Structure 1
Amino acid sequence: MNNSVGRRWPSLSFGTLLITLLSACTVGPDFQRPEVQPIDQWSTPRTAAASQVVPAQMNERWWEVFNDPTLTALTRRAVTDNLDLKLAGSRLQQSRAARQVITSAQYPNTSATGSYARKRNSGEGLNDPSGHGGDSAFNLWDAGFSASWELDLWGRVRREAEAAEANVEVAQNDRRGVLLAVLAETAQDYLQLRGVQSTRAVTEQNLEVARRSLRFTQLRLADGVATDLDVAEAAAQVAAVEARLPALQQRQSQLINALSLLVGQPPQALQAELSSDAPVPQAPRQVAIGLPSQLAERRPDIRQAEARLHAATAGIGVAKGDFYPRITLSGNVGSQAMQLSDFGSWGSRAFGIGPQFSLPLFDGGRLRGMLHLREAQQQEAATAYQQTVLKAWHEIDDQLSAYNASQLRRDSLAEAVRQNQLALRTAQQQYVEGVVDFVTVLTVQGALLATQEQLVDSSTSVSLAMVGLYKALGGGWESVYPVTGGATSNPA
């Protein structure tokens, strides 16, 4: 008996080894992560501003560098309540459900059935299982258990599962991209709101100056020193400054509505907490932006393009697997009887077991056309990945240039405002002394108002450029959206 077992063992080992080797075979190319030559360092402007970017570890919560509690609170609410983000989360859940459906094909499919029927067959048709020739009704009790499993000898099913996993990664990075866009848009709208409020404050200050000039001119007219022309010009200046305020108020209302939408609230829901004036949050003198080599790990669009390329590569394996035979093992066992007392007895047993085999012979070129389609899609995905990376480098370089240029412009405008303030005080004094006419005072005052508004706009642009730089770098989603998870963690 022992010798008999010893003689059978080699054949069993060979069969097991054969099945193992066949199951390890996977048709189609294996995915290789694309290599893109990174730049060695960030670009450096010829004329550098006072604030500089440094290649240090980037602050993932970059919105906190502004040290503005209101902005931090709005960011937290946007991450929690933004509807675009919730839609992206739903798409991620769908991709995970699709992955579960596809990967289930790797495992055996089992089911249990049971039925009871009161039947009567035709006496003129095929045979009557009751033996009554269709003259009387009979009972039929039936129950069983069945199982089937496709032997994935060529790896077609495994390639489908691989593509499904890559598509989940695509959906994950889609959500990360939406989150990054929401973070940036929230910060940008908030900064613009504070910029509009600062512009309005400057306009109201200049309006008060214009009104004082009007009152002063009216007094000089009463004393016989000024003319009606001076009074009319002063009144026109007051009206011109007043005309700026409605547009600023409208812009403020629009930005508050935009922020309300970002946090999933109805129009003007944030009016009470955002209508009070506050200065434009300013960036620190040094901004850490990380290393160029970290870009591919941070930007969701690059990660998404890589996942699409992975899915397209796995799709080639699926298409090639369709050329090979499909072998499915199936079996069933059960019991069937016309009397309940016989149901489950040894004589009522029924079973069936065996493989099923299918091989495509002629399909009019459908399979070959599908393979060519998958290969072309893979080439497109590879080109799209290269394009995404190249666009990322250009976007970052443009944002670095914009951040530096906006700072230089702000510093020049700050000096212009100081000089215009000095010029206005001088012109007012000379007008009192009768050295210059009132037109000169109005001209200098208009120049001061223009440069003050430009300075506010430029200061806002510096902060907006920093937000744009962080968005281009792809930072921010890591701290509120884990790399491996789909749920949003607490961003506070």
Structure 2
Amino acid sequence: MMGAPPSRFRHVLSRHMLSLAGCAALAGGLGGCVDLAPKYRQQHYMLPDNWKGDGVVQYGNPQDGVSRGDWWQVFHDSTLDELEERASRLNPDLQADAEAFTQARDIVAEAQSNLYPQISGAASASQNQASSHRLWRGAGSQGPIYMSSEQYSASARWEPDFWSGIRNRRRVQQRLAQAAAADFAVARLSIQSELANDYMQLRGMDAQHAVYLDSIRYYQTAVQITKMRQAGAIAAGIDVSRAQTQLSSTQAADTDLQARRAVMEHAIAILANVAPSDFHITPRSQISFPKVPAPVGIPATLLERRPDIASAERHMAAANRAIGVSRAAFYPHVTFSATAGFMDNGFTLDKFANGMYNYAAQAVLPLFQGGLRRAELQRNWSQYRQAEDQYRATVLAAFKDVEDGLSLTHGLDTEATQQAEAVQAAMRTQNMTMQLYTGGLTNYLDVVVAQVAALQARIAEVQVETRYMQAQVELIRALGGGWTTAELPNNRQIRPFSPLQYTHLRTPKAVKGVNVDNGPESYDLSGKGFQDGDLTGTPKQR
């Protein structure tokens, strides 16, 4: 049993403990009462009432039209659906961005930890022996030359947040974590739109390949006709050479196209987390994507739908809170600390007389630092204004993206109609000149000119259709792909774990679709998980 302490010792201890408790209560009552950050107001700009760009425009609310998170499904292509779903889960660049968000959440937890008392424990043991002939030890001295020491103690340190400096540091990191979540959404939308763009380009190449094959069959027939006419002494050998030149150059162009298609296929494979050597998409003979009237809404809704705008706004909010941190540095910095434990030269630590303790309160006020605090405050104000400028630049860039998309979709839609008329005229000319040549009414040079014009017109038609589909993808991306600011995590969701949680720390729970645990499928680069026939090389019924 621990011996009872003397009454005077108890009195002194009680008085000091009450004093410390009183200081703590006072600090607790005052801590966080003063927030020195300026009141944050999100910038409100005078925006146009309508979009200038013409095109397939349908006004609506942000949640209308394109599906949130799976906007690519509006193109009704099962292969594209499967590729996008896989890229959204397994793309390595996107997973790295998810980890950046996780790290931002942990920085918030680090900043928040300073609001709590910092408690630690310590234990030590030592054995010490001095020389019997050490300096200043007189002859016949009976002082000890051997001693042991054992002790254990606990200490606590707490900084009351009088001026909300700690809280504002936490709020800075919370807003930066929200910005990281928006950056993840930007990266995800970028990868999804890049994949859709590449896929549209690949299907356009397939359609061009079909045009080349059709033209090659036509040119092969033309070569046979010129050879027959040469054999009958009706045409000169130059006609055969011209026909053969047209055939061979078209075959070479088709070979080059197939090489570029293979490169595009490799790019799609990488986006879908598949090794290119194990990846193939079965060609199709024509483009079969529908036209999608994207609901663009009024210009003001764009501020709620673009993740890059949300990221810029959160950086501006973080810069606003950083001003409060700099202002708090002008005021006294107060800390409380206490240590208690036992120490003895043996293992009789259960005696109250072997107890030890100390407690302290400290306040530090900066008096003169050569302008250090003022420089920090001015720098933070400058950073806030810089964040405002960057936010405005992001908003302007977003408006440009939408206007570009509207103008391109409108222009390419009109161009596609005009190009279709050009193809019809070129095909009529090609057929008529071949008939005239076969009847001996014109030379083969006219046939070659008509063939070149027809081929160029047909290839241009496919290219315009491809660019139109890509412009639709870019317009959807410019509108945010169905994303809204409601998908940003709130402060409670950002916290990766509770202060007393010590398990399940390797990977945090997914927040607002940001998941860092994708299992072993992330390491399977063979693409065996694909079920679509187009991706396995097996033709699929459509």
Fold match by TM threshold 0.5: yes
Partner of 1:472 in structure 2? 478
Partner of 2:261 in structure 1? 252
CA distance in 1, matches of 2:44, 2:293: 31
Which sections of structure 2, spanning at least 5 residues, go unmatched?
1-20, 490-510, 519-542
Partner of 1:53 in structure 2? 57
* Aligned residue identity for 1:261: I
Cα root mean square deviation, aligned: 2.6
Partner of 2:108 in structure 1? 99
TM-score (norm 2): 0.81
Which sections of structure 1, spanning at least 5 residues, go unmatched?
1-11
Partner of 2:205 in structure 1? 196
CA distance in 1, matches of 2:512, 2:481: 17
Partner of 1:8 in structure 2? none
Is the Cα contact below 8 Å between 2:36 and 2:327 reproduced in 1?
yes
* Aligned residue identity for 1:457: Q
* Aligned residue identity for 2:445: V
CA distance in 2, matches of 1:109, 1:285: 58
Task: State the shift of 1:442 in Å.
Answer: 1.5
Partner of 1:300 in structure 2? 307
Task: State the shift of 1:43 in Å.
Answer: 2.3
The verdict on how the C-alpha distance between 1:232 and 1:22 changes in structure 2, with shifts beyond 3 A counting, is: closer
CA distance in 1, matches of 2:404, 2:135: 83
Task: State the shift of 1:175 in Å.
Answer: 0.8
Is the Cα contact below 8 Å between 2:118 and 2:157 reproduced in 1?
yes
Partner of 2:397 in structure 1? 391
Is the Cα contact below 8 Å between 1:283 and 1:466 reproduced in 2?
no
Sequence identity percentage: 27
Partner of 2:149 in structure 1? 140
* Aligned residue identity for 2:147: F
Q: Does 1:179 align with 2:184?
A: no
C-alpha distance after superposition, 1:236-284 (max 9, x if no partner): 111121120221011101101111111222233322xx14335334232
CA distance in 2, matches of 1:317, 1:253: 56
Partner of 2:372 in structure 1? 366
The verdict on how the C-alpha distance between 1:81 and 1:289 changes in structure 2, with shifts beyond 3 A counting, is: same
User: Mapping of 1:2-41 within 5 angstroms?
Assistant: 20-21=29-30, 23-41=32-50
C-alpha distance after superposition, 1:385-408 (max 9, x if no partner): 111111111121111101111111
Task: State the shift of 1:65 in Å.
Answer: 1.2
Give 1:90's match in structure 2, choosing from 99, 103, 117.
99
Task: State the shift of 1:319 in Å.
Answer: 1.1
CA distance in 1, matches of 2:438, 2:469: 41
Task: State the shift of 1:467 in Å.
Answer: 0.6
TM-score (norm 1): 0.89
Partner of 1:445 in structure 2? 451
* Aligned residue identity for 1:435: L
Tell me which moved more, 253-262 or 289-298.
Answer: 289-298
C-alpha distance after superposition, 1:447-468 (max 9, x if no partner): 1100000000000011000011
Task: State the shift of 1:433 in Å.
Answer: 2.2
Give 2:353's match in structure 1, choosing from 347, 352, 360.
347
CA distance in 1, matches of 2:157, 2:136: 30
CA distance in 1, matches of 2:43, 2:264: 42
Give 1:316's match in structure 2, choosing from 290, 312, 323.
323
Q: Does 1:420 align with 2:418?
A: no
Partner of 2:5 in structure 1? none
Q: Does 1:284 align with 2:288?
A: no
Partner of 2:460 in structure 1? 454
* Aligned residue identity for 2:93: D
Secondary structure of 1:36's match?
Answer: coil
* Aligned residue identity for 1:483: L
CA distance in 2, matches of 1:160, 1:132: 59
CA distance in 2, matches of 1:243, 1:125: 99
Task: State the shift of 1:122 in Å.
Answer: 7.9
User: Mapping of 1:326-341 within 5 angstroms?
Assistant: 326-340=333-347
CA distance in 2, matches of 1:377, 1:317: 13
* Aligned residue identity for 1:316: I
C-alpha distance after superposition, 1:15-34 (max 9, x if no partner): 96886355310113132222
Partner of 2:386 in structure 1? 380
* Aligned residue identity for 1:283: P
The verdict on how the C-alpha distance between 1:487 and 1:455 changes in structure 2, with shifts beyond 3 A counting, is: same
* Aligned residue identity for 2:185: R
Q: Does 1:206 align with 2:211?
A: no
* Aligned residue identity for 2:99: S
Secondary structure of 1:286's match?
Answer: coil
C-alpha distance after superposition, 1:344-393 (max 9, x if no partner): 21111111223111112222222211111111111101111111111111
Is the Cα contact below 8 Å between 1:99 and 1:165 reproduced in 2?
yes
Q: Does 1:216 align with 2:222?
A: no
Is the Cα contact below 8 Å between 1:253 and 1:268 reproduced in 2?
no
The verdict on how the C-alpha distance between 1:207 and 1:433 changes in structure 2, with shifts beyond 3 A counting, is: same
Is the Cα contact below 8 Å between 1:406 and 1:462 reproduced in 2?
yes
Secondary structure of 1:24's match?
Answer: coil
CA distance in 1, matches of 2:275, 2:443: 53
Partner of 1:9 in structure 2? none
The verdict on how the C-alpha distance between 1:126 and 1:161 changes in structure 2, with shifts beyond 3 A counting, is: farther
C-alpha distance after superposition, 1:59-85 (max 9, x if no partner): 132211111111111101111111110
Is the Cα contact below 8 Å between 1:180 and 1:476 reproduced in 2?
no
Secondary structure of 1:151's match?
Answer: coil
Is the Cα contact below 8 Å between 1:92 and 1:486 reproduced in 2?
no
Partner of 1:228 in structure 2? 237
* Aligned residue identity for 1:231: V
Task: State the shift of 1:14 in Å.
Answer: 13
CA distance in 1, matches of 2:107, 2:451: 66
* Aligned residue identity for 1:192: Q
Task: State the shift of 1:420 in Å.
Answer: 1.4
